[in-house]
Structure 1
C-alpha cells in the first residue's frame, strides 16, 4: 500500500508528479509499533564499516557479540556501508555492492543479530524503513535508478526460513536517489483527527527532483490501478514513450526476477483531471467506479502528504 510521487522543477517551472503503489501486506506484523522497546543503539558510518554504539558496547554491524567467547561472531560481511537506519529495535543498512541487510538489536546481552538480507545484485544508494500501521517495509534505491521495497516474512517458503528478504514492489524512478526522509502522514479526516501510525518517505535525487513514497489502503490501490491501466491507452504518450514500460525495473543486463506489479504512476494518474468531463465520466464508468470517487481518492492522497 504505497504511493510514490515525484516532483521535479522543469524549465517551465512546473512540478511533475509521479506515483507508485504497493498493496503487499500479506504477512503478519513483525510487532506493534507502539509496543516495541526503544533501541539504545546509535549507528555511525565510517565508510567501510557500520558501528552500533551503546553506553557499554561498540561492535561492527555484521558481528554478533558472544559473551562466552569474549569476542564477536561474524554473521555478514560488506564491501562498503552506504546508509544505516533504525526503527525501535530494528536496524537496516545498505551496501554499495551487496544490497541491504536487516538486523535486530537485543538489549539483553547487547546483541546485534542478522535477521535477513537481499541475495540479489544491488548497488545500494540509500535505504529507509516504510511504516504502514503494524506493517514494516524496507526501501532501497540503486545505481540503476530503481527503487525496491522488501519485507521480512520468515514463515514463507520463499524466504529460505527467514534468511531472505522478499520483494514487495519495484519501480524505475529515472534518477539516482541518495537520501530518504521518513515523515508522519497527516490524517485525511481533518487536522483535528488523531494522528495515524502511517509514515511517508520524502526523497531527493541527483537530478534536483524530490518525491514521496506513502502507504494507502488496498481498496484505493485496486481502483487506481484499474484507472492507470485505462489511462495508458487513453492518454497520449509524451514523445511516444510508454509510461508503463518506463516504470518497469531496469536491470542493465543483470539477471533479475521481476517483482510484484504493485506500482501506480501518479504522474500518469494526474492526467485524468486534464481530460474533458465527458472523458472522465466515460473512463470512470469503464473501470466500474465514479468520477467523484476517483477525485475523492486523489484528495485523500493529497491531504495525507500535505506536509510537502
Structure 2
C-alpha cells in the first residue's frame, strides 16, 4: 500500500517498505514480504502475483466530495514520528502516512485535522489499514468514513457474501429507504448499492470459481457498503469499463449511519484487515460460515 509524498526527501523507511516512482512521476511506497506478497495504494498481490484488488481500466480520482470525500486523492507524507501503536509485531512490513489539510482543503471542508494511516502487510499476505483522525481544530467537527475496497472476482453473479444476512440496510437505489436483508447470503443479479448497519466484525466474500474467500475484519466501523453498478450504470460511468462490473465487488467497512463527532483534541480510530484464504466451497466441501469463525 502506498502514497505519494509531497516533497522529494527520502526518509528512513521501515523494513519491507520501498519508495519507487509511480504514475505521472509521483512517489509511491510499496510493501513487500519475504514470501512474495506485495501491496501499494491500488494493488494487493498474493505470492503468485495475482491481483486481488480491482481498479477500473479508466480509473479516475474525480468524484463528488459527498460520495467519495477528498482524502483519497491528496498528497500524503511519510510520518517519521508516529505515535506508538500496539499493532507493530515483528515480521510485518508497514508504513506510516499522514495527511494534514492544505489551504485548498480548508476551503472545501473548513476543519483542521491530522489523519494518520498505518498500512501493514503481514507475513501471510494479510493487509491491515489502521486509520486515526485527530481534531486539531478549536471546534468540534463531524465526518463519515469508508475504505474503498474493490475486490477482484471471477464473476460477480457467482459470488456470495456471508455475514450480512438478516441485517437492516439503507438502499441507495431507493432514496436510502431502510429494509431488512431476507436471504441466507447476498448474491448478485443486478445493480446493488446498500449500506448495511450494525454489521459483525467479520464478513466473508466467497468466490466459487477461484476457490477463494476474502475475509474482512474490522473495528470501529459499524457499517458495511456493498456495491456493484451492473451493466447499465457501468456503461454510463466515464471512469468504468463497460464489462468490468462482472469482475469486481465493493465491500467496504464504513461509519456512515451515525457520523463520528470529535471534540478538539479527540481522536477516532478505525481498522480494517483483509485476507484471502483458499476455499473449496464451490464443491460443497467447506461451509463458508466456518471461514468466519476460524479467521480471527
Q: TM-score by structure 1 length?
A: 0.30
Greater strand share, 1 or 2? 2
Structure with bigger gyration radius: 1
Q: TM-score by structure 2 length?
A: 0.31
Greater helix share, 1 or 2? 1
